[in-house]
Structure 1
Amino acid sequence: MIRTLSRLLAPLMLLSAGAAFAATYARVLPERSAVEFVSKQMGVEVGGSFERFDARLEFDPTKPEQGSARLEIDLASIDAGSADANEEVVGKAWFNVKEHPRATFVSESVKALGGGRYEVSGQLTIKGRTRPATAPFTFRQDGEAGVFEGQFTINRLDFAIGEGMWSDVGVVADEVQVRFRVMAAAGR
């Protein structure tokens, strides 16, 4: 009788154990997250980061297609490597933060690629211009947190970043690689 009961309950126990491990990651941990970029100036890689951003997400690795993400970057929080560079890139020719203080990405879809790899697609708005963007990323658990890491490339001139004399791609390359690492805890 006990064996029969055990055989009947075993599948239910496995299902409930699987459900206990499924989690929706939604509480972003900004102190453990980063948004960085790499561009080329006269052929030399130049990196930087943004110190302030707000990320909101909903992601359950068992149902990635139901996921969503929204990222807002405070463009004035840029660290482009020096005080002079920081002052230059917030100006009108570059980010024009007086008129466009934030860059925003809003997801439209998330899909699984297999092996802990995913892809999020949506709309990226910088300097008042909106373009479609797709970012491949990986997801893994780190203790009780989820780690989302990825990178994608934008063409800065699509967003009017670096106008006037700075639009010469021989001086500053058009392609800019954006890298992100977002850590989030399960729950809301």
Structure 2
Amino acid sequence: MTFTQLLLRNTTFCVGLMALGAALPAHAAQLKPDLAKSNVTIVFKQLNVPVEAKFKKFNAAVDFNSAQPEASKASVEIDISSFDLGDPEYNKEVLKKEWFNAQQFAKATFVASSIKPAAAAAAGSKYDVTGKLTIKGKTTEVRFPLSVKKDGNAQVFEGTLPIKRLTYNIGEGEWQDTSIVADEIAIKFHLVAN
């Protein structure tokens, strides 16, 4: 895998976690993700071949009221050094300055500014989330759909956030070439909260 692939996966993880945290049920004051059952991944293309990676460490704080989702709050903090492409050498490479620059930017964050029921969706199952995503010191406003479902005693939050890696300077210098690593990244998340 390339450095860009690693970076893209980190981004996916961050965004996924943020989105999941934004849709907690009304009775949940604080998100307590079950990390053994949850995942945040990024999918990107290197030489037009899909590559997937994940973040192993993150924290989330959520205050959600299903009766008044507009009053809900959510934030996620991702440990960039936990990015995992499945190979120690690739992992080390993507933490370098050209990619995530983990030494200077150890965390990626998401803070929700708006959580609203999605139009024409089943009540309480689909939401539109807007917020600020910060990766490698660059902050932008992002928006993504979030779905929420019950699984036994747990709540499951899922979604996909599309971003462009170059917006966050992921892949500098020669790695800005999008013919090698595509600019488009999909951050996918599956969060289980008890």
Match of 2:94 among 89, 96, 108: 89
Q: How does 1:1-188 map to 2 (within 5 A)?
A: 23-24=27-28, 26-31=30-35, 32-113=37-118, 114-115=121-122, 116-185=125-194
Structure 2 counterpart of 1:180, which letter? F
Structure 1 residue 63: Cα displacement: 2.0
Unaligned segments of structure 1, at least 5 residues? 1-20
Q: Which has the larger radius of gyration?
A: 1
CA distance in 1, matches of 2:102, 2:28: 34
Higher strand share: 1
CA distance in 2, matches of 1:148, 1:68: 15
1:52-82 deviations in whole A, cap 9, x for unaligned?
0011112222222122210111010011132
* SS of residue matched to 2:92: helix
Structure 2 counterpart of 1:51, which letter? K
CA distance in 1, matches of 2:68, 2:150: 15
Structure 1 residue 22: Cα displacement: 5.6
Structure 2 counterpart of 1:173, which letter? A
Structure 1 residue 130: Cα displacement: 0.4
> Aligned in 2, Cα 1:22/1:79: closer, same or farther, shift over 3 Å?
closer
TM-score by length of 2: 0.80
1:12-38 deviations in whole A, cap 9, x for unaligned?
xxxxxxxxx962353322423211110
Moved more, 46-55 or 63-72: 63-72
> Aligned in 2, Cα 1:66/1:172: closer, same or farther, shift over 3 Å?
same
Q: Which has the higher contact order (CA 8 A, sep 6+)?
A: 2
Instruction: Judge conservation of contact 2:165–2:183 (CA < 8 Å) in 1.
Output: yes
Instruction: Judge conservation of contact 2:83–2:91 (CA < 8 Å) in 1.
Output: yes
Unaligned segments of structure 2, at least 5 residues? 1-24
1:9 maps to none
Instruction: Judge conservation of contact 1:111–1:119 (CA < 8 Å) in 2.
Output: yes
Aligned residues: 165
CA distance in 2, matches of 1:174, 1:161: 9
TM-score by length of 1: 0.83
Instruction: Judge conservation of contact 2:62–2:74 (CA < 8 Å) in 1.
Output: yes
